Amino acid sequence: MQRWARVMMVAAGVGAALAAGCTQPAGTAASPEASLPASPTTLADHGMAARWQTEVLLAPGTHLTDVWVRGGYLVCHGSDHRAYAVNARTGERLWSQDLAEPHETVWPPAIYENHLWFATTTRLIGLQGADGRNIVRDAMTPPEDMPRLPEEAATGEATPAEEAVWGQRTEAQRRVQAELARIKQQQADLNAVLASKRKSIALDFAPAGPPVTDGAHLFVPDAKGWLQAVSVRAGVIGWGRWLGDTITAGPVGDTTRVYFAGHNGIVYASTQNIRRILWQYQTEGAITADLRITATGTVLVGSLDYSLYAFDGASGVLEWDTLPNRRYNAGEPIRKPPYTFGEQVFLFTPKAGLTVLDTVTGKPQWQLADGDDLVTADADTVYVLSRSRHLLGVNRKDGSVRFDVPLRGATLVGINETGSGLLYLATPEGRILAVAQATAEDKAKKEAEEAGLAP
């Protein structure tokens, strides 16, 4: 009987874990290397160290399709449109949430402070990064201190100010005015109640690219050619800007402005709170790659006209004045976003592979023909996916390849632009490995282990 009770307790625990999705802390037991996206032993031989590993619990018949790094969170996206959040520093599994119906699209999330905003084909969903709590209700509910009509108006009595204005008006006029005021207040109260029950914000357009947010608006590319600034805070007015052509490139923002561009080839800078264009620039080709901004406020825009443009965010002036036409000519269309770490820009194109530019001058420093896409970068190394899906560690000074490690199967990569230096690799089955350059402590530990194994 006791044995049966123990079996039932174990079964209940497994069931609870599956229901939770990924709410448990990461386990400490190491998994067999064969199930991981890369061999920790091989990585250690090349000066890398595993920081943590974990596994998200996927529903039967599903697999991971995307891995996104947003601030302190690693967000994994499943084929069933379920999101799984993991602490990017520790590997602790935080929560999981369903986002959309199977026929919909889910775009990479935008982050503001600790809030994650997801755009789907039909709606916006806001979640607290730490615990997955839905924040739409709190974001869209008017605060209690929002101005209300005086109590006298709600009860049908005139306020002293109204009494002075109305003067000799009849009692009937006074009561009509009070009734209108009461109806207006009731409508405001009803709107507040409806907002308190909301779990998402319905969209009347189909998003066509990844959003960005300033905490008050979510700036979303619209398939019909608009940049939509959707209000995600009570009392904030939304707005939109029509580009006259398709927009699929993800916008980017700083503290006061949002920058966006579309297939019409025009780059725009607008204030965030209202639709007011501060400057615009006509390129010579469509823009489909997501925009980026450097730590110093330079806006980077890649175009199908073969050029990478670097704009001063405040003025719209092209900064690379030592280059012909003040822009870098890649010699081929630019379809991937330019990435920036410190004083370097990393540009990936089909023929040239990886080209590294000086952020200030735009002049090329070196190229790596085998470079296909970014993984991340630390102080001295940029980590790159090769054309054959190997992980390359490349010297940031001269482009020399420090190591070449094969990745297993259809490994997913979470491109990390946060500057933490962590590499995030995942398998479609949900195994996740976080790796970073080995520290002196890591190397000493490895040497001690090897010495202990020696005869």
Lowest mean pLDDT across 121-130, 147-156, 203-212, 296-305? 147-156
Q: Are 433 and 36 in contact (CB under 8 A)?
A: yes
Residue written as tokens 């490690």?
405
pLDDT of residue 34: 78
Q: Which residues pair with 222 in a beta bridge?
A: 207
pLDDT of residue 235: 85
d(CA 273, CA 160): 36
The structure tokens listed for 35 are: 């199930």
Reported as a single tens digit per residue, the pLDDT across 79-114 is 999 999 999 999 999 999 999 999 999 999 999 999
Look at residue 170 and tell me whether its pLDDT is greater than 70: no
Look at residue 405 and tell me whether its pLDDT is greater than 70: yes
d(CA 368, CA 64): 30
Distances (CA, A) of 207 to 66, 119, 195, 211: 18, 7, 23, 9
pLDDT of residue 162: 42
- Using a 10 angstrom Cβ sphere, with 0-12 exposed, 13-18 middle and 19 or more buried, the burial of residue 136 is buried
The alpha carbon of residue 232 and the mean position of all alpha carbons in its chain are separated, in whole angstroms, by 16
The C-alpha angle with vertex 107 and arms to 335 and 191, in degrees rounded to 5, equals 140
Mean pLDDT calculated for residue range 50-70: 97
Q: Are 154 and 181 in contact (CB under 8 A)?
A: yes
pLDDT of residue 357: 98
pLDDT of residue 414: 98
Q: Are 393 and 38 in contact (CB under 8 A)?
A: no
Q: Are 357 and 344 in contact (CB under 8 A)?
A: yes
Look at residue 184 and tell me whether its pLDDT is greater than 50: yes
For the chain, give every domain's residue range. 151-196
pLDDT of residue 149: 40
pLDDT of residue 173: 66
pLDDT of residue 189: 58
Confidence of residue 27 (pLDDT cuts 50, 70, 90): very low
Look at residue 288 and tell me whether its pLDDT is greater than 80: yes
For residue 382, the tally of other CB atoms under 10 A from its CB is 23
The DSSP bridge pattern shows strands 201-202 and 328-329 to be unpaired
pLDDT of residue 441: 85
Look at residue 286 and tell me whether its pLDDT is greater than 80: yes
pLDDT of residue 143: 64
Look at residue 437 and tell me whether its pLDDT is greater than 60: yes
Give 246 or 159, the one with higher predicted confidence.
246
Percent above pLDDT 70 for the chain: 81
Reported as a single tens digit per residue, the pLDDT across 321-342 is 999 999 999 999 999 999 999 9
Confidence of residue 179 (pLDDT cuts 50, 70, 90): confident
**167 backbone φψ class: left, alpha, beta (φ>0; ψ -120 to 50):** left
Give 1 or 215, the one with higher predicted confidence.
215
Look at residue 17 and tell me whether its pLDDT is greater than 50: no
Lowest mean pLDDT across 69-78, 156-165, 170-179, 377-386? 156-165
Confidence of residue 185 (pLDDT cuts 50, 70, 90): low
Look at residue 10 and tell me whether its pLDDT is greater than 60: no
pLDDT of residue 37: 94
Look at residue 151 and tell me whether its pLDDT is greater than 90: no
Look at residue 76 and tell me whether its pLDDT is greater than 70: yes
Amino acid at 145: D
Mean pLDDT calculated for residue range 129-135: 96
Q: What is the residue-averaged pLDDT of the chain?
A: 86
Nearest to 93 by CA among 13, 20, 176: 20
Look at residue 3 and tell me whether its pLDDT is greater than 50: no
pLDDT of residue 7: 36
d(CA 253, CA 390): 33
